[in-house]
Structure 1
Amino acid sequence: MSQPNLIHDLTNSLRSYKTQLDSANQQLAHLERQGKIAELTAKEISSYPTEQVWRSCGRTFILQDKSKYMTDLEHDENIIKDQKKNMTIKQKYLETSVEKVVDNLKQFIDKDSKQ
């Protein structure tokens, strides 16, 4: 493969990895917000003196036992933690990939400037 084609492929890979990394960062921030909301909701619900609370379901509300609602929130928090863990792994992979492609591009640029 000729050097211009290889550089072109590397720049395309870099662009693709950067786009995926930006998306992963946005998804991670969204998951962090969701986790914080679930945590604050659980904290607020636990402070209520009643045993039944109203739970929002779209445009309606359902009267539900507080313990059931708390269990659901804990389950949601666990799912969010797992998703954050997986997204963090993906983020690290993409960061490493971007660094490797940039290093390869620098090597090619250094070769061209020395010739």
Structure 2
Amino acid sequence: MKRLPDAELELMMIIWDSEQPVSRADIEKKMKGGRSVLPSTVLTLLSRLEKRGFVRREKRGKINYYYSLADKQEYLKEEGKSVLDRMFGNSLTNFVAALYDGEDMDEEEIKSLQSFIDSQTEEKK
């Protein structure tokens, strides 16, 4: 699966998080920070996503609705592995250290991370 540019990924996240197919207008309403984006820009990005096989367009009356064809978890898994490999030498320790260097992790984050490590350790036994 190809890596998406940030603008296209933002649209995919909106589509993935929607419970139902979304229109261009729905996407514009849900964009980060409520920023204003030209409808033609959103349509161009949706067209690119359609050509890449990430979405399918269905026309209902005068409105196009967009469905995801790509699995969100699969994409995030591949993208996460790529970032981990390219930027942190495939080291989860280096990744976590970079995220929290000089910052305190709260108790809940530490417990969650420890629980994940414990579950992974159990699976390896």
TM-score after normalising by structure 2:
0.27
- Which structure has more relative contact order (CA 8 Å, sep 6+)? It is 1
- Structure with bigger gyration radius: 1
TM-score after normalising by structure 1:
0.29
